[in-house]
């Protein structure tokens, strides 16, 4: 029998009020709730709950377990909790509005003479996030995907430099003089393009570095600008127009620009793939193939939207796209890590990612990140 089942069976048979059993109950490394089976109120929970959900046990006792779900989903989930033994990939809202993606296992039990429901939660995103190497591996895969676009981008300054140097060389070889103003203008041109190429190389090197996981004030529009600098060329080549609708004077958010870049690149790659898939289906380039990157401020959060006119997401898979290793792309193209890693990163910023999508119409991925210095952001640093 698997160890979790052993534990649950032990719990079923024992009275948690006993000191030894309480100790056992509390040392289970995953959140366990004891619910009243009829009302779904929380009768008891272990210490792992405090860590995962951010509430103290006393605050939760006698409150409804359904409070952890979006209001619109509460009725459905209440039914599922009572009737099925496994609920996969449900979103729960923890203290401060942070969302976690969990698998819930339920089993029937008795508690203080009442019929109870034992619920164990495993937080699948956090399990994944424990491994910084995985974030890094996904970043490397992203870099690999971007190579073609970057090579193209580097080609432009190089070809300008080549044209200028060929011209100067031919003049030097033939002994012709070059007007001092022209010479100066050309050297300035070369100098500017060398700086541009160097900037790109530095940027790539920085992006490839392992992030330090420190949160600091970040200008979102600036990060978007940097990402689009290295990305728009390859989108243009695919006839995809990028529209920037960036709110001026955005406040800074409490984040890490390196990891925020990773999130934006993941969303842009997905948008690009979705549009390409749509183009393949129509056997033509669409006229309205475009990605809109939009920023705004909403209730102490900066909202970043990456909206595409791609294939959209089928209803049947909507609930699974943030799951690690879930991909609908062919082998070699998708790793299924982009969204789950992005979800984890944004969660680390105390923010959240939402998705709106209609099949054949396109998708919009919306990221909310707390503005620096607000309660949402402060709660984050208090907890660290």
Ligand X SMILES: Nc1ncnc2c1ncn2[C@@H]1O[C@H](COP(=O)(O)OP(=O)(O)O)[C@@H](O)[C@H]1O
Q: Which residues bind ligand X (CB under 6 A)?
A: 266, 270-271, 274, 308, 310-313, 321, 326-329, 334-340, 363
Q: Are 218 and 257 in contact (CB under 8 A)?
A: yes
CB-CB contact of 125 with 322 (8 Å): yes
User: Residue of minimal CB distance from ligand X?
Assistant: 338
Between 55 and 326, name the residue whose CB sits nearer to ligand X: 326
Residue whose CB is less far from Mg ion, 40 or 235: 235
Residue 338 makes contact with Mg ion by CB under 5 A: yes
Any residues with CB less than 8 A from the CB of 54 and at least 6 apart, and which?
A: 94, 95, 96, 98, 383
Write down the least CB distance from residue 232 to ligand X, Å.
17
Q: Which residue is nearest to Mg ion (CB)?
A: 338
H or E segment and range at residue 152 = helix 132-174
Q: Is 262 in the site for Mg ion (CB under 5 A)?
A: no
- Closer to ligand X at the Cβ: 258 or 270? 270
Q: Which is nearer to ligand X, 33 or 365 (CB)?
A: 365
Shortest Å distance, C-beta 2 to ligand X: 28
Nearest distance in Å: CB 252, ligand X: 27
**Cα–Cα distance measured from residue 148 to residue 251, given in angstroms and rounded to the nearest whole number:** 34
Q: Which is nearer to Mg ion, 310 or 338 (CB)?
A: 338
Task: Tell me the closest approach of the beta carbon of residue 330 to Mg ion, in angstroms.
Answer: 13
Query: Looking at beta carbons only, is 251 or 319 nearer to ligand X?
Result: 319
Under rule CB under 5 A, residue 270 binds Mg ion: yes
Find the shortest distance in angstroms from Cβ 312 to ligand X: 6
Nearest-approach distance from CB 367 to ligand X, in angstroms: 13
User: Is the Cβ of residue 92 or residue 340 nearer to Mg ion in the bound state?
Assistant: 340
The size of the interface with Mg ion (CB under 5 A), counted in residues, is 2
The C-alpha atoms of residue 220 and residue 47 are separated, in whole angstroms, by 37
Please tell me the total number of residues recorded for the chain in this structure. Answer: 384
Calculate the CA 24 to chain-centre distance. Answer: 35
With CB under 5 to 8 Å by kind, the binding choice for 323 among Mg ion, ligand X, none is none
Q: Which of 140, 74, 78, 85 is nearest to 108 (CA)?
A: 85
Candidate ranges 205-213, 237-245, 268-276, 300-308; the one touching Mg ion (CB under 5 A): 268-276
- Whether 341 and 321 have beta carbons less than 8 Å apart is answered as no
> Shortest Cβ distance from residue 351 to ligand X (Å)?
17
Q: Which of 127, 132, 154, 131 is nearest to 209 (CA)?
A: 132
Say if CB 291 and CB 268 are below 8 A apart. Answer: yes
Query: DSSP letters of 94-145?
Result: -GGG-EEEEEEEEEEEEETTEEEEEEEEEEHHHHHHT-HHHHHHHHHHHHHH
32 binds, among ligand X, Mg ion, none (CB under 5 to 8 A by kind): none
**Footprint of Mg ion on this chain (CB under 5 A)?**
270, 338
């Amino acid at each position: 029998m698997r160890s979790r089942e052993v534990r649950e069976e032990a719990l079923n048979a024992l009275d948690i009020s006993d000191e030894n059993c309480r100790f056992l109950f509390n040392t289970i490394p995953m959140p366990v709730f004891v619910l009243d089976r009829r009302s779904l109120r929380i009768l008891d929970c272990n210490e792992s709950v405090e860590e995962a959900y951010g509430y103290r046990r006393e605050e939760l006792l006698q409150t409804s377990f359904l409070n952890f779900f979006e209001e619109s989903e509460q009725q459905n989930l209440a039914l599922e909790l009572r009737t099925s033994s496994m609920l996969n990939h449900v979103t729960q809202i923890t203290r401060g509005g942070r969302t976690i993606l969990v698998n819930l296992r339920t089993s029937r039990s008795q508690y203080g003479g009442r019929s109870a429901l034992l619920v164990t939660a495993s937080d699948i995103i956090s399990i994944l996030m424990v491994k910084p190497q995985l974030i890094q591996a996904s970043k490397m895969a992203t870099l690999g995907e971007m190579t073609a676009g970057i090579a193209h981008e580097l080609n432009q300054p190089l070809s300008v430099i080549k044209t200028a140097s060929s011209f100067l060389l031919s003049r030097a070889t033939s002994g012709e003089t070059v007007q001092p103003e022209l010479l100066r203008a050309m050297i300035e041109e070369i100098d500017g393009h060398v700086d541009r190429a160097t900037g790109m190389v530095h940027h790539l090197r920085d992006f490839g570095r392992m992030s330090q996981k420190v949160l600091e004030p970040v200008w979102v529009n600036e990060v978007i600008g940097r990402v689009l600098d290295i990305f728009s060329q390859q989108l243009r080549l695919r006839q995809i127009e990028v529209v920037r609708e960036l709110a001026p004077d955005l406040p800074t958010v409490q984040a890490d620009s390196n990891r925020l870049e990773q999130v934006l690149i993941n969303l842009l790659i997905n948008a690009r793939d979705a549009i390409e898939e749509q183009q393949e289906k129509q056997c033509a380039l669409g006229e309205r193939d475009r990605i809109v990157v939009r920023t705004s401020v909403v209730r102490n959060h900066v909202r970043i939207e990456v909206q595409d006119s791609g294939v959209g997401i089928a209803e049947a898979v909507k609930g699974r796209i943030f799951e690690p290793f879930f991909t609908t792309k062919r082998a070699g193209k998708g790793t299924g890590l982009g969204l789950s890693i992005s979800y984890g990163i944004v969660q680390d910023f105390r923010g959240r990612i939402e998705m709106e999508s209609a099949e054949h119409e396109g998708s919009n991925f919306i990221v909310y990140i707390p503005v620096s210095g607000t309660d949402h952001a402060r709660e984050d640093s208090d907890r660290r």
